[in-house]
């Protein structure tokens, strides 16, 4: 039995020695694997950060482009908004009835100026909002009165009290209208 005990002790010593050697050799591998895992995590974090920054940059470029396009498209908005009362006054002047020959020549001159003015503003994108006979649209019309006309449907614009204008697709001033009940 003593041989058996000696063999077991020898095996145990040998097993302990092997485990120590393996532990010594495995420990550096674990440290290297740990460093590799840390570096891979840092790399993934940096790649994610780069992708987010790139997406932010692309979004900024797109926003700037849209802002520039909108600024170009509506560059004349302020000027045209200021000129709308002038158009109203020229329109009122053309509604006056003329009787004398001098008034007729003056009327013709005002009419020519009005047409040139309309053409110049139309080149910039100013459009008159259609109102009379159209269905009431709160995006383009401002109802200030209601009237009753049995010949027309409900919600139809009966009269235009003041012209409305839009610049391309943006309303500068809604048309003031009277709507059928």
User: Domain containing 114 — which CATH number?
Assistant: 2.30.22.10
Give the Å distances, CA to CA, from 179 to 21, 22, 42, 129: 98, 94, 68, 15
Last residue of a domain, one of 44, 73, 102: 73
pLDDT, residue 99, reads 87
| pLDDT for residue 30 | 74
pLDDT at 156 over 80: yes
Query: How wide is the angle at C-alpha 47 spanned by C-alphas 45 and 50, nearest 5°?
Result: 110
Same domain flag for 143 and 99: yes
**Domain assignment of residue 21, given as a range:** 1-73
Alpha helices in 74-136 (DSSP H): 77-94, 101-123
Q: What is the value of pTM for the model shown?
A: 0.62
pLDDT tens, position by position, 33-42: 889 999 999 9
* 31 or 28: which leads in pLDDT: 31
- The count of domains in the chain is 2
- Does residue 80 share a domain with residue 69? no
Does 101 lie in the same domain as 18? no
Same domain? For 52 and 91 the reply is no
CB 73 within 8 A of CB 67: no
Give tens-digit pLDDT for 101-123: 889 999 999 999 999 999 999 99
What is the predicted pLDDT for the residue at 29?
58
Pick 20 or 110 by higher pLDDT: 110
Which tokens in the block code for residue 111? 């009419």
Q: What is the dihedral of CA 69, 73, 76, 81, to 10 degrees?
A: -120
Per-residue model confidence (pLDDT) at position 150: 79
pLDDT at 163: 93
Q: What is the pLDDT of residue 74?
A: 80
The rounded percent of the chain whose pLDDT value lies above 90 is: 55
């Amino acid at each position: 039995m003593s041989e058996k005990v000696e063999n077991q002790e020898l095996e145990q010593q040998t097993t302990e020695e092997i485990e120590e050697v393996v532990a010594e050799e495995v420990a550096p591998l674990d440290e290297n694997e740990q460093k590799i895992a840390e570096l891979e995590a840092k790399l993934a974090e940096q790649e994610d950060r780069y992708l987010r920054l790139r997406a932010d940059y692309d979004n900024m470029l797109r926003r700037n482009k849209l802002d520039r396009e909108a600024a170009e498209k509506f560059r004349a908005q302020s000027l045209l908004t200021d000129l709308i009362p002038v158009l109203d006054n020229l329109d009122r002047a053309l509604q006056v009835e003329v009787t004398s020959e001098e008034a007729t020549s003056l009327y013709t001159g005002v009419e020519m100026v009005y047409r040139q003015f309309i053409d110049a503003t139309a080149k910039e994108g100013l459009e008159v909002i259609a109102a009379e006979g159209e269905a009431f649209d709160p995006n383009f019309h401002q109802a200030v009165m209601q009237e009753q006309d049995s010949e027309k449907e409900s919600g139809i614009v009966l009269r235009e009290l003041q012209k409305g204008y839009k610049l391309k697709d943006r309303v500068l001033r809604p048309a003031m209208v009277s709507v059928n009940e």
